[in-house]
A and B are shown apart, each in its own frame.
Chain A
Amino acid sequence: MTHANWQSKIRNFCIIAHIDHGKSTMADRLLEYTGAVSQREMSEQLLDQMDLEKERGITIKLKAVRLKYQASDGNEYTLNLIDTPGHVDFTYEVSRSLAACEGALLIVDAAQGIEAQTLANVYLALEHDLEIIPVINKIDLPNADPERVKQEIEDVIGLDASDAILASAKTGEGTQEILEAIVNRIPAPQGSVDAPLRAMIFDSHFDSYKGAIPYFRVMEGKLEKGMEIKMMETGKIFEVNELGVFVPEMVLADSLSAGEVGFLAASIKNVADTQVGDTITGAKNPAAEPLPGYKKAVPMVYCGLYPVETNDYEDLKDALEKLKLNDASLYYEPETSNALGFGFRCGFLGLLHMEIIQERLEREYNLSLITTAPSVIYRITKTDGEVLYVDNPAHLPEPQAIEMIEEPYVKANIMVPSDFVGAVMELCQEKRGTFVTMDYMTPTRVSIEYAIPLSEIIFDFFDQLKSRTKGYASLDYELTGYQASKLVKLDILINGELVDALSCIVHQDNSYHRGRALVDKLRRLIPRQLFEVPIQAAIGNKVIARETVKALRKNVIDKCYGGDITRKKKLLEKQKEGKKRMKQLGNVEIPQEAFMAVLQIDD
């Protein structure tokens, strides 16, 4: 078979869906139908590999699977399914996955309709000229309303939904039609096999034996085993020792050509050398230009991570190094806090990314951590004209030295049933948002756009949004740039000592309220000590709020007779353990949660 013939039988596609709309189950059905996995082998939702992903029902790492499909036209087709992450933190990764495809299945829940995240990804797909096949999933549900959803797809996205496929990933209904549509509607990949090699990395993972393994789509040219390749962004050169595809288990190949999707191993020590969006070319006959669209992953949210036990510092450092091997977007550097000692300032793509890393550090590396409240990067112009970027509120210069503080803003797009428009607008106003526009996509669904400071989004915005709209609202946001704001640093003093790890940057108009709420929250989180402990909130030298943690008054086991001794001893041991997890600041013992208190205050 000539390459042109082979290439014409390839279809590269991904699945766009909102969380819970059935993406993983649909992928499972496709794998099953094409015989890539038998039903028996099928552990629920094969594409989501990490435990954490399973628990949270989201896909963090992308994967690609090659399927063989015998189409009704009599030909055998090679279908590459490229999985995409479904969370707003990973928009860039999504865009790279989309760029590796010619088409996408748009899966919409037959009862729920389109959500903001789906819409954002459909727009991304349309930007990449992808052929979109609408699939209305979960039609077996009693409250399914496929006609309404079709109408919504036409009204909202402007796609012709008349030939949308009605499916149920649960029962398997519609699976064959989907496969036929992939073959018939998605174009075969273009790109000449004779051109110099250009392959785009859309994901990578770290294997402790083989090093960093990039996943890529060959756009042009041919990759062969033994070939010397060059990463165009970093300029680094490696020799390919292994080349292959996933079916879904690993199968080795001698070469992969234009249109194909696969992985390679080349003794790459660090995932930072396999950056998502980078172009792989040949070291000998390099392409003139890299593929368009590369962006360096930029952390948006920062927090301090400190070991509870000071001597766990090295362990934390090792753990971060290991995680970084697998996750090039994780950023960290050592920092010191007078309250917490030695730790790291870490940068994340978003709040979810931050939570995932924290959980992995605690779960997989068995570390007990203190996390400080997340912060964004502020741009400070000093009175002497110097411009600083500050990712830790404690490092803000003295107020007299500051000419201007700017903070990052996002364009937030919220989709919500029309009943909740008022609630959403109220929330956005509270969070210092500026109204941009509002569209009635259908008579009952509204898309609302606000400009909001990122720092407000990373507080409890998403939780608030969900609770005020009974879970119906969905959110998508993108960074738009910096804007000047009237911001001040709010300091917390415990027992008269400034606790740098509790400092936060707040808007001047909210500062009194936040200060009061924060000291009140801290009063409730910090247990009674041997003596009274004052907690103060201050702006500069001015104390704006004060609370007191009372001294212990009665804490004694009253009854201790023959049968109680073993039990009471266990109780005391447990209490002692609990205290070990607290941080000693001077004479005061502070629980870990206190350092996140600023996140938990109720407005």
Chain B
Amino acid sequence: MSIGLYIHIPFCLKKCNYCDFISFPVSESKVDSYLDALEKEMELYRRELDSDDRVIDTLYLGGGTPTCLSGNSLRRVLEASRLFFNWLPDIEVTVEANPGTLDLPKLKLLRDEGVNRLSLGVQSFNPRHLVCMGRQHGVAEIREAVQMAREVGITNLSLDLIYGLPGQTLAQWQDTLEEALSLNPEHLSAYGLKIEEGTPWGELAARGKISPAGEDLARLMFDEVQKQCREKGYIHYEISNYAKPGYEARHNLRYWQTRPYLGLGVAAASYIDNKRWTNVSDINEYQQLLKQREKPVEEEIVLNLKDQMAETVILGLRTMEGVSLTDFKARYGKDLQAIFREETAKMISAGLLIIDNRHLKLSAMGLPIANIVFEAFV
């Protein structure tokens, strides 16, 4: 069985005010020693994994901002992944990018290295919001980036947006959405802002200076995404994700369908053989361990059967297709409704879950308040 490969690139031009991912200001020497470590990690796993598990059908370069690396560095990462793992012929290769870190030569290089999907972190089309968020680009750079991507022949383009920004009105969000969809991306992700501790916005929120949209406004904004996307022919296939038919993110679907993936790089997470593990989040420790040819793993959890089943349900319910009762039975030998009898009965009678075409899925009522459902299954 093939796996998905995730590679974390923990560098950015500058960290955004709301971001709590592991990332550092980019510098050439730092990138070089990080890539050294990354290659050592690939080598470790090539030896450790069964040959089957070294076959990858999706590759995802995430960050940070992978595209803040030089063309040469990006080429180095992609080629190393080809060297240590076996790319399937129809592999989906996604690179996360920020407007302002792209130019035509870099995009051509990516295309030539096999990248066939670009996920562009756009976040907003409101210049003032972009400044407040600490983004290193304006609206013009967004359009430029999209245009360049098309020019080099990227036919699977995704845009990321955030709603519920402090002070953002519903009308402003409608405008951002319209602008994003007018660029005709194949895929769109829209996330409600969550203010995290330890970020500049987290500090401001703790002091009561800012707050994200309240629950009622956030709901209206969420409804708005669904409405506009539907009108433009996108399929709502996961809580926060929309795609033209056939353009669902294959790599990300792995997460929700509890299929295996290997995460490489600092703080990256993996899921193989019912084990979940996470790499150390300290970049120096990560590099040090790999110098000693040790796995940079911080935490490993072996999932028991009940955990596996619960995760299958909770993650599967994130997709609008839901959890296939047939697949569940095939995988675990038992009926989902027998294992989670009380939970499913309670949630169905509350109107939050439905069974449709042998799939258990969120109802329209359950979708925006799905945590209530998830809590029942954890």
Q: Smallest CB–CB gap between A86 and chain B, Å? A: 38
Contact B371–A555 (Cβ < 8 Å) = yes
Asked if A559 contacts B240 (CB within 8 A), the reply is yes
Over the window 258-285 of chain A, the binary record of Cβ atoms lying under 8 Å from chain B Cβ atoms (1 yes, 0 no) is 0000000000000000000000000000
> A553 with B215: in contact, given A572-B374, A572-B378 (CB under 8 Å)?
yes
Which of chain A's residues 550-564 have a Cβ closer than 8 Å to chain B? Answer: 550, 552-563
Most buried by B among A528, A550, A561, A579: A561
Tell whether A563 pairs with B371 under 8 Å between CB atoms, given A555-B215, A558-B239, A569-B311.
no
- Contact A566 B278, beta carbon cutoff 8 Å: yes
Which residues of the partner chain A approach B261 to less than 8 Å between Cβ atoms? 562
In the bound complex, what is the Cα–Cα distance between A566 and B303 (angstroms)? 11
B239 partner residues in chain A, CB cutoff 8 A: 556-558, 560
Do A556 and B311 contact each other (CB < 8 Å), given the known contacts A563-B268, A572-B374?
A: no
Tell me the bound Cα distance from A249 to B273 in angstroms: 62
Residue-by-residue, is B297-338 near A (CB-CB < 8 Å gives 1, otherwise 0)?
001010000000001001100100000000000000000000
Considering only CB atoms, which chain A residue lies closest to B377 in the complex?
A572
Q: Is B132 an interface residue (CB 8 A)?
A: no
In the complex, whether A311 has a CB less than 8 A from a CB of chain B is no
A588 CA to B166 CA in the complex, in Å? Answer: 31
Residue of A with least CB distance to B318: A560
**Interface SS majority for chain A:** loop
Stretch at the interface among B67-75, B122-130, B139-147, B362-370: B362-370
- B350's partner among A528, A530, A572 (CB-CB below 8 A) is A530
Query: Most chain-A CB neighbours within 10 Å: which of B252, B269, B278, B374?
Result: B374
CA–CA, A528 and B369, complex, Å: 11
Residue of B at shortest CB range from A569? B378
User: CB of B120 within 8 A of chain A?
Assistant: no
Whether B276 pairs with A566 at a CB distance below 8 angstroms is yes
A575 within 8 Å of B (CB atoms):
yes
A562 to B218, CA, bound (A): 25
Do A554 and B378 touch (CB < 8 A)?
A: no
Could you tell me the distance in whole angstroms from the C-beta of B342 to the nearest C-beta in chain A? Answer: 14
Check: A576 CB closer than 8 A to any chain B CB. yes
Compute how far the CA of A557 lies from the CA of B222 in the bound complex, rounded to whole angstroms. Answer: 12
Given A572-B375, A573-B378, 12 other A-B residues pairs in contact with their CB atoms under 8 A: A530-B369, A553-B218, A554-B218, A557-B370, A558-B239, A560-B255, A562-B255, A562-B261, A565-B276, A575-B375, A576-B376, A579-B375
Hey, what's the 0/1 contact readout for B338-378 against A, CB within 8 Å counting as 1?
Answer: 00000000000010100000000000000111111011101
B369 nearest CB across to chain A (Å): 5
Which chain A residues numbered 527 to 574 have a C-beta less than 8 Å away from chain B? 528, 530, 550, 552-563, 565-566, 569, 572-573
Contacts of A528 in B (CB 8 A): 215
Chain B residues proximal to chain A, CB less than 8 Å: 6, 191-192, 194, 215-216, 218-219, 222, 239-240, 252, 254-256, 261, 263, 267-271, 276, 278, 299, 301, 311, 314-315, 318, 350, 352, 367-372, 374-376, 378
Q: Across the interface, do A556 and B370 meet the contact criterion of CB distance under 8 Å? A: yes
- CA–CA, A550 and B278, complex, Å: 39
Chain A residue nearest to B376 (CB atoms) is A576
Separation in Å of the A414 CB from the closest CB of chain B? 35
Inter-subunit contact A563/B278 (CB<8 Å):
yes
Task: Report whether A562 and B6 are in contact in the complex, using a CB–CB cutoff of 8 Å.
Answer: yes
A562: B residues at CB distance < 8 A: 6, 254-255, 261, 263, 268-271
Given A554-B192, A561-B252, A576-B378, verify A566-B269 contact (CB < 8 Å): yes
State in angstroms the CA–CA spacing of A563 and B191 once bound together: 16
Q: Please, how many angstroms separate the alpha-carbon atoms of A572 and B317 in the complex? A: 14
Chain A residues close to B by CB (< 8 Å): 528, 530, 550, 552-563, 565-566, 569, 572-573, 575-576, 579
Q: Is the CB of B369 within 8 A of A556?
A: yes
Closest Cβ–Cβ distance, residue A563 to chain B (whole Å):
4
Nearest-Cβ distance from residue B96 to partner chain A, whole angstroms: 11
Per the bound structure, the CA–CA distance linking A385 and B193 in Å amounts to: 65
Q: 7 closest A-B pairs (Cβ-Cβ)?
A: A553-B219, A563-B269, A554-B219, A556-B370, A558-B191, A576-B375, A572-B378
CB-CB < 8 A to A550: which residues of B? 215-216
Known: A554-B192, A561-B255, A562-B269. A575 touches B218 (CB 8 A): no
Give 11 pairs: A residue, B residue, CB < 8 Å, sorted on A: A530-B369, A553-B218, A557-B370, A558-B194, A559-B240, A561-B252, A563-B268, A569-B311, A569-B314, A572-B371, A576-B375
A2 to B378, CA, bound (A): 78
**B315, A565: Cβ atoms closer than 8 Å:** yes
List residues of chain B with CB within 8 A of the CB of A556: 239, 367-371
Task: Write the nearest CB–CB distance from A406 to chain B, whole angstroms.
Answer: 46
Q: Are B372 and A552 in contact (CB under 8 A)?
A: yes
Interface centre among A550, A556, A559 (most CB of B within 10 A): A556
Residues of A within 8 A of B276 (CB): 565-566
A447 to chain B, nearest CB (A): 41
For residue B191, which residues in chain A have a CB less than 8 angstroms away from its CB?
558-559
Closest to B239 in A: A556
Q: Check B269 against A553 for contact (C-beta < 8 Å).
A: no
B267 touches A557 (CB 8 A): no
Complex: A550 Cα to B214 Cα, angstroms: 12
B362 to chain A: closest CB distance in Å?
9
Alpha-carbon distance A550/B369, docked complex (angstroms): 13
Give Cα distance in the complex from A499 to B25, angstroms.
57
Question: How distant is the Cα of A510 from the Cα of B134 in the complex, in angstroms?
Answer: 51
B163–chain A nearest beta-carbon distance, Å: 9
A565: chain B residues at CB < 8 Å are 255, 269, 271, 276, 311, 315
Residues of A within 8 A of B370 (CB): 555-557
> Cβ of B311: which chain A residues have Cβ within 8 Å of it?
565, 569
Known: A562-B269, A569-B378. A553 touches B369 (CB 8 A): yes
The reply to whether B267 and A563 contact each other, CB–CB distance below 8 Å, is: yes
- Pairwise interchain contact B378-A553, C-beta atoms closer than 8 A: no
> Which residues of A lie under 8 Å from residue B369 when comparing CB positions?
530, 552-556
In the complex, what's the smallest C-beta–C-beta distance from A444 to chain B, in angstroms? 39
Chain A residue at smallest Cβ distance from B366: A556
Residues of B within 8 A of A572 (CB): 314, 371, 374-375, 378
Chain B residues contacting A555 (CB-CB under 8 Å) are: 215, 368-372
Q: Which residue in chain B gives the minimum CB-CB distance to A550?
A: B216
Kindly state the separation between the CA atoms of A332 and B191 in the bound complex, as whole angstroms. 53
Contact A557 B374 (CB under 8 A): yes
- Neighbouring B residues of A575 by C-beta, 8 Å: 371, 375
| Nearest B residue (CB) for A561 | B255
Shortest Cβ gap from A305 to chain B (Å)? 28
Known interface pairs A559-B191, A565-B315; A554-B269 also in contact (CB < 8 Å): no
Q: Chain A's nearest CB lies how many Å from the CB of B198?
A: 14
Bound complex: CA A459 to CA B263 (Å): 57
Closest to A552 in B: B369
Assembled-state Cα–Cα distance A528/B374 (Å): 17
Whether the pair B240, A558 counts as a contact (CB closer than 8 A) is yes
Compute how far the CA of A560 lies from the CA of B276 in the bound complex, rounded to whole angstroms.
15
Which residues of B sit under 8 angstroms from A557, Cβ to Cβ? 239, 370-371, 374
B218 contact set on A, CB distance < 8 A = 553-554
Chain A's nearest CB lies how many Å from the CB of B101?
A: 21
- The residue of chain A having its C-beta at the shortest distance from the C-beta of B191 within the complex is A558
Closest beta carbon of chain B to A153's beta carbon, Å: 47
Closest A residue, CB atoms, query B270: A562
Taking CB atoms, residues of chain B closer than 8 Å to A573 are 378
- A528-B219 Cα distance, complex, nearest whole Å: 14
Q: Which residue of A lies closest to B238 (CB)?
A: A560
Which residues of the partner chain B approach A576 to less than 8 Å between Cβ atoms? 375-376, 378
Distance from A491 Cβ to chain B, minimum over Cβ atoms (Å): 29
- Residue on B nearest A576 in the bound complex, by CB: B375
Contacts of B271 in A (CB 8 A): 562, 565
> Taking the nearest CB of chain B, how far is it from the CB of A543, in angstroms?
26
Residue on A nearest B22 in the bound complex, by CB: A563
Smallest beta-carbon distance B310→chain A, Å: 8
A530-B252 CB under 8 A given contacts A554-B222, A558-B194:
no
Q: Which residue of A554, A557, A573, A576 has the most chain B CB atoms within 10 A of its CB atom?
A: A554
Q: Taking CB as reference atom, which chain A residue is nearest B256?
A: A560
